[in-house]
Amino acid sequence: MANALGGQGDVSLREYLAEFAEAAVNLEGRFWGSLRALLFRPGLLTSEYMAGRRVGWMRPLHLFLLINLLFFLLSAGWTTFSTPLQVHMTSGTFPHRAVALDWVNRELNDPRLEAETWSELVTAGGDVELDETTEAALDRLVDYAREFNRRSEITARSLVIVLVPMATLFPLLAFCRRRESVVKHLVFTTHWTAVMVLFSLVGGWLTIAAIYAGLIEPGRDDLMASSISLSLILAWSTISFCRAYGLGRVRAVLAAVGMTLWLTVFLQIYRAILFFVVFWTL
């Protein structure tokens, strides 16, 4: 019986399952079609979206979220976006390194260890001569780092979305004289960030394959993965800037180089944000 508001009555389980299957098939079709266009026709999805031709394509944010999910399912525990505590406190390229080192010292040790002693302990760990105080501090650090890294992996799955507005700053500034809409920049960088996540995955798996094939030594895996990913991003960005913004080849190459350089900067900012979010919520 139809309800008082003019509804269609009860839906049978068979009808519900049929609707669910239809929705799943449509979603799958749009996802794979959008993924192919994203990878092999750079800039097309942005152009299509801004032209209003959106039927058959996934929305930019939906596509990004699904690709992000794929990354964390297939990344085999990589720390591309979920930086371990040890790296936060020891990497010389991280702008928040000194703060991370000091805050963790303050959090774990009462009284706090001397800065030099704490830095040596964090860097060398069990390779330094330990007295009773520093050994206890090391034990606390190991336990804290284990929980920090676990929380970091969980937090990164949702926090990675902040990469999109950070990436958007580049086209906003680079094309400010063209008076392009902010929406176009956001759509473009949503697709660009999704590709960056995908190419990080590709670079990682190609590096693993190279290690198993004996082509590189395990100690150089990070460099190779980064080189592969950045090369793919640079090539994709060049074509994408041509198609989405109508740039000539030279300007597109320059824009792609600028965007890739900006990536290395805002990834550091992202890692600083990740540290503070995890630290404050731990």
**Among 104, 80, 76, which Cα is nearest to 90's?**
104
Segment 246-268 shows an average pLDDT of: 94
Q: What is the pLDDT of residues 153-178, one digit of tens each?
A: 999 988 999 999 999 999 999 998 88
**276 versus 10: which is more confidently predicted?**
276
CB 154 within 8 A of CB 124: no
Q: Give Cβ neighbours of residue 137 (< 8 Å, ≥ 6 apart).
A: 108, 109, 113, 118, 121
pLDDT at residue 22 tops 60: no
**Among 159, 166, 117, which Cα is nearest to 138's?**
117
Amino acid (one-letter) located at 186: L
**Alpha carbon 24 to chain centroid, angstroms:** 26
Spell out where the chain has E strands: none
CB 88 within 8 A of CB 96: yes
The two structure tokens encoding residue 29: 């079709």
pLDDT of residue 4: 45
pLDDT of residue 271: 94
Phi/psi zone of residue 52: left (φ > 0), alpha (ψ -120 to 50 degrees), beta? left
Q: What is the pLDDT of residues 114-152, one digit of tens each?
A: 888 788 778 876 566 667 777 888 888 889 999 999 999
pLDDT at residue 6 tops 50: no
Spell out where 175-250 has E strands: none
The residue extents of the domains of the chain are 42-79+159-281, 85-155
**Among 132, 155, 163, 138, which Cα is nearest to 86's?**
138
Rounded distance between C-alpha atoms, residue 67 and residue 64, angstroms: 5
Q: What is the pLDDT of residues 206-251, one digit of tens each?
A: 888 888 887 777 666 777 888 899 999 999 999 999 999 999 999 9
Q: Give Cβ neighbours of residue 199 (< 8 Å, ≥ 6 apart).
A: 228, 229, 232, 233, 236
Rounded alpha-carbon distances, angstroms, from residue 226 to 6, 196, 264? 58, 11, 11
**Alpha carbon 244 to chain centroid, angstroms:** 22
Rounded alpha-carbon distances, angstroms, from residue 57 to 64, 65, 155, 192, 245? 12, 14, 29, 16, 20
